[in-house]
Amino acid sequence: MIIHTEEEVKNINERFEDLLDHCTHITKPEDRRLIKNAFLFANEAHKGMRRKSGEPYIIHPLGVSKIVATEIGLGSKSIASALLHDVVEDTEYTLEDIRYNFGERISVIIDGLTKIAGVFDKKSTIQVENFRKLLLTLSDDVRVILIKIADRLDNMRSLDSLSRNKQLKIAGETSFLFAPLAHRLGLYTIKTELEDLALKYQDPKIFNEILQKIKDSEKTRQLFINKFSLPIIDKLNEHNVKFDISGRPKSIYSIFTKMESKKVKFEEIYDLFAIRIVFEPDPNTPEKIQCWNIYSLITDIYMPKPERIRDWVSTPKANGYESLHGTVMGPNGKWVEVQIRTTRMNDIAERGFAAHWKYKNNGQGESELDKWIRKIRELLETPTTDALEFMDEFKLNLFATEIMVFTPKGSIITLPTNATVIDFAYEIHTEVGNQAIGAKVNQKLVPLNHTLSSGDQVEVLTSESQRTQREWLDYAYTAKARASIKNALKAENKIRIQAGKKILEEKLKQINLHPNSRIINKLIDGYEVENKDELYLKIGGGLLPLDNMKKVLKKNTKNKWIRYWELTYSKSIQKSKKQQSKTDNKQQKAKPDNKQQQDQVIDLGKPLIIREGIDEPGKNYRIAKCCNPIPGDDIVGYKSPNETIIIHSTKCPTATKLMSSHGNLIVSANWTRHKILSFLAGIRIKGIDKIGIANSITNVISRDLNANIRKIAIETHDGIFEGSIELYVHDTKHLNNLIMNLFKINGVISVDRIENIHE
């Protein structure tokens, strides 16, 4: 049996020799020997194995190794690990075999690569948990991630042999996670190719159309680049700059996203390509100054577009990228982007943090890679029960574009584009975020949901009495801020639940009761909450007073619907029409015994009083289903043939018909006049001052909850408003609903009840 043909063996050996030829940075004999031994071991382990394309499997590890060596620029251990990366997963060899033959460090890398191999092949929850475990090793050896990215790139380059379904799955994973991850690690060239290849399989029609248009315009583009570059070449030579200049079209994916976002055609995109100048810097002059000097020479030739300057030399991107970008007006009225960077900057731009290590961060302390890894570890150490949510929040840490903002003392904070004040606050410190009430951005007061821009100087305003708000989750963009808010809310709710449970137990003890499931269920039903945690939470938060607990426990809570409407007759004897009107308004209560009430003949001249929340056995009415009136609606009763009073809304078409045809059977009826029995209450409200906030508050009180305002006073200072409001409410439930609705207003930070309000 022929395992590999002679031609295949020749191809394998040629590919390995090509790999060694490209390892020019590997010079020590022992390092090159390590790579050779790893190849021989992997080749033997994968003998007889083939890829879906039909080629020998070892071709894949060789491809990954070449990417690791040439496109990322890693060393001998990484190259050897790339050659061995599938051995433990796909063959009979174990991690112990790797450790015995190649040492502890390589076995650790292989272990990480083996773990991540199954991340995208199982159910989502398991995938994410594996991915989380893998990322925990990130600070130990980032090479695991770098080799995995190389593995994904080689797979994407050979995706044609897989089924359409597999292609879409792998392309989706690539665009969702691997391309942003490559970008975050500074692997721009790889990131660009991953994006293009993902688009190729996700939307082949669009991909091929853009590709063809780039090819069709290649000759014209090259002529333009030459015409544009010649004056620059002369100018740089004149100033003795050692440089290389090149022009390249933007990636297919970036052109596609620009067409989509701006809703324009291919021909309408003005910056289809960029000119890159990479120069050898003078060691005696700061690189930043040299970049700006070259930019100055170019703008002596071509008119610049000032608003399109991108200075990543003064403030590098979070992934270490450094370059000076400018846009100038070239020949024929075309805008051209020019990128200026040193050879060192270009090395980092092409190969990311792998190259960054080589320069040792120039002794400037913690590297951007270290900062990023620290952020990832913070996220990983935050427990979450939602696996997909974890993936989304991790992806937020792979943001493709960043902004640089400043603290009041001038320190730079890097955040993703679209970050808000609340994100900045939590980036400073968790407690700063938890106590934030607003901020001053460039000396102007703004709310917590204000979106920041590059160059903003931000001062967070805090208050010790501030509490974390659930609506902040709508403001937060970064994973760190969202995780911190969720943790604070959980902690606060836990404290309130415990406090509420203790308060309830003490109240029950006062009436010689012990909490049990029957009592708790009655309270849940009586106070109209979903479960016992919500019951404890509202009690602990002061939103559910227990003054009427005995009354609630005495109620028959089997039928919630019945509790809304109860019927009784007035006990008062009406001596005259004038006295009757007064009696109706006072709503004097009568409590005849059940037998007496059931036997009583209905007096059609008396108005029926329908009371909320009163348990009355033997009642002889029901609510009409055609109009379903509720407390507050104008109602009438109709005496049916079986003596039951049917309660209709006065606006109900059926009631109108009955009143016109059976007027003698119509009974006047009223709800209990609780709205007349309103009482004065006060609330204190605080938040971020903004246009329309006072109007929003009064609308909620007067329009949404139909409460009458007695007095309102609002003062503002430093962009924060504080107010006190006196108003009439029907009961504590009404007041609690009012407080909760005021909390929902964008900009409101706290709402509290004021005790001891007097007429």
Per the CB < 8 A criterion, the answer to whether 359 and 348 are in contact is yes
Rounded CA separation 749/502 (Å): 27
Rounded CA separation 654/635 (Å): 12
Count of CB atoms within 10 A of residue 94's CB? 12
Q: Is 275 strand, coil or helix?
A: strand
Tell me whether residue 378 is exposed, middle or buried, using C-beta atoms within 10 angstroms of its C-beta: 0 to 12, 13 to 18, 19 or more. middle
Given the residues 8, 55, 89, 471, the one annotated as active site: 89
Buried b (16+ CB within 10 A) or exposed e, 491-515: ebbeebbebbbebbeebbeeeeeee
209 belongs to the catalytic site: no
Rounded CA separation 160/576 (Å): 96
Per the CB < 8 A criterion, the answer to whether 679 and 729 are in contact is yes
Amino acid identity, position 534? E
Residue 656, both tokens: 């109108």
**Residue 669: closest CA among 706, 707, 622, 729:** 622
Per the CB < 8 A criterion, the answer to whether 188 and 350 are in contact is yes
Q: Is 159 strand, coil or helix?
A: helix
89 belongs to the catalytic site: yes
Amino acid identity, position 553? L
**Residue 204: closest CA among 269, 158, 252:** 252
H helix or E strand, kind and range, residue 709: strand 708-717
**Residue 57: closest CA among 155, 145, 138:** 155
Given the residues 90, 282, 615, 616, the one annotated as active site: 90
**Residue 315: closest CA among 298, 299, 333, 291:** 291
- Which positions are catalytic? 89-90
